[in-house]
């Protein structure tokens, strides 16, 4: 009897799951697919750190170049939806706990690295200065020791903080030199996605979602 009830309950659950509508919209987190791409780039071992995002930055190219069809589709979708997006990196050398000597040895890695422009700002303008994100980036790195990603708002931008973790022994091997005691799963860096909807996209959203005006009085 119990068994029959169990079977019929699981069948009912299966029917409910099958009937659930398929979500086609990107959801409330527009940068989640971009973060998947960036996390993927950190698995490869040809170049390291910010060079994984901007391989040509020392030649002055600070615009993210998609390297495959998935990355291209993600960037295109963000641009077409009117998002202005940049990526910054904060590594463990930025933590105040790291010795002053180390910070002097690696000044670039002690600060916020970036921005890498993922989509341009419409009509000009600049993404936030890296220094303005240092305190938030440090706080994110510390909190990733025990928690996951989160978003904050800053000067009209959303800043999505996402951990870049030591996923393999290879990551630990290299990075333990700067961070003794580093284990698999620990955060090595924080990816900061700074984004907003362009003014034009916000305007058109406001117009399409505005309530229809009442009919004129007779």
Residues binding ligand HEC: what is the number (CB under 6 A)?
A: 21
Contact assessment for residue 150 and residue 158, using Cβ atoms and an 8 Å cutoff: no
Q: Which stretch binds ligand HEC (CB under 6 A): 23-31, 40-48, 64-72, 97-105?
A: 40-48
Q: Which is nearer to ligand HEC, 83 or 144 (CB)?
A: 144
- Give CA–CA dist 102/188, Å, rounded: 16
Among 35, 42, 85, 162, binds ligand HEC (CB under 6 A): 42
Residue among 143, 135, 85 nearest 114 (CA): 85
Stretch that binds ligand HEC, among 11-19, 85-93, 128-136, 194-202 (CB under 6 A): 85-93
Q: How many CA atoms lie within 13 A of 61 on its CB side?
A: 10
Residue 184 interacts with ligand HEC (CB under 6 A): yes or no? no
CB of 162 to ligand HEC, least distance (A): 11
Question: How far are the Cα atoms of 40, 119, 170, 209 from residue 174, in angstroms, in the given order?
Answer: 18, 32, 7, 51
Which residue in 79, 143, 167, 176 binds ligand HEC (CB under 6 A)? 167
| 166 is an interface residue for ligand HEC by CB under 6 A | yes
| Contact region with ligand HEC (CB under 6 A), list: 20-28, 118-126, 141-149, 170-178 | 170-178
Among 9, 73, 105, 170, binds ligand HEC (CB under 6 A): 170
Say whether residue 45 binds ligand HEC (CB under 6 A).
Answer: yes
Q: Minimal distance in Å, beta carbon 68 to ligand HEC?
A: 18
- State yes or no: residue 56 binds ligand HEC (CB under 6 A): no
Sort strands 112-117 and 157-165 into parallel, antiparallel or unpaired.
unpaired
Residue 161 engages ligand HEC in binding (rule: CB under 6 A): no
* C-alpha span between 84 and 96 (Å, rounded): 31
Residue environment code for 123-144, b if the CB has 16+ CB neighbours within 10 A, otherwise e: eeeebbebeebbebbbebbebb
Rounded to whole angstroms, how far apart are CA atoms 125 and 102?
A: 34
Tokens standing for residue 192: 């900061």
The residue whose two tokens read 């398929």 is: 22
In terms of CB distance, is 21 or 58 closer to ligand HEC? Answer: 58
Question: In this complex, which beta carbon is closest to ligand HEC, that of residue 35 or of residue 84?
Answer: 35
Instruction: Please state, in angstroms and rounded to a whole number, the distance separating the CA atoms of residues 156 and 203.
Output: 15
Q: Which residues bind ligand HEC (CB under 6 A)?
A: 42-43, 45, 48-50, 89, 91-93, 109, 164, 166-168, 170-171, 174-175, 188-189
């Amino acid at each position: 009897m119990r068994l029959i009830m169990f079977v019929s309950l699981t069948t009912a659950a299966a029917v409910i799951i099958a009937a659930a509508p398929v979500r086609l919209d990107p959801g409330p987190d527009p940068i989640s697919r971009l973060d998947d791409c960036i996390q993927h780039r950190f698995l490869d071992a040809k170049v390291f750190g910010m060079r994984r995002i901007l391989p040509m930055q020392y030649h002055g190219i600070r615009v993210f170049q998609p390297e495959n069809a998935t990355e291209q589709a993600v960037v295109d979708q963000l641009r077409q939806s009117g998002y202005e997006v940049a990526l910054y990196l904060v590594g463990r050398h930025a933590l105040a706990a790291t010795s002053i000597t180390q910070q002097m040895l690696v000044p670039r890695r002690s600060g916020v690295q970036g921005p890498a422009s993922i989509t341009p700002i419409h009509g000009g303008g600049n993404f936030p200065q890296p220094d303005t994100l240092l305190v938030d980036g440090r706080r994110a790195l510390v909190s990733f020791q025990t928690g996951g990603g989160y978003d904050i708002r800053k000067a009209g931008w959303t800043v999505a903080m996402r951990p870049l973790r030591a996923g393999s022994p290879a990551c630990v091997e290299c990075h333990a030199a700067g961070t003794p005691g580093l284990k698999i799963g620990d955060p090595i860096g924080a990816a900061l996605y700074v984004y907003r909807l362009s003014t034009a996209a916000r305007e058109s959203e406001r117009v399409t979602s505005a309530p229809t005006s009442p009919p004129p009085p007779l």
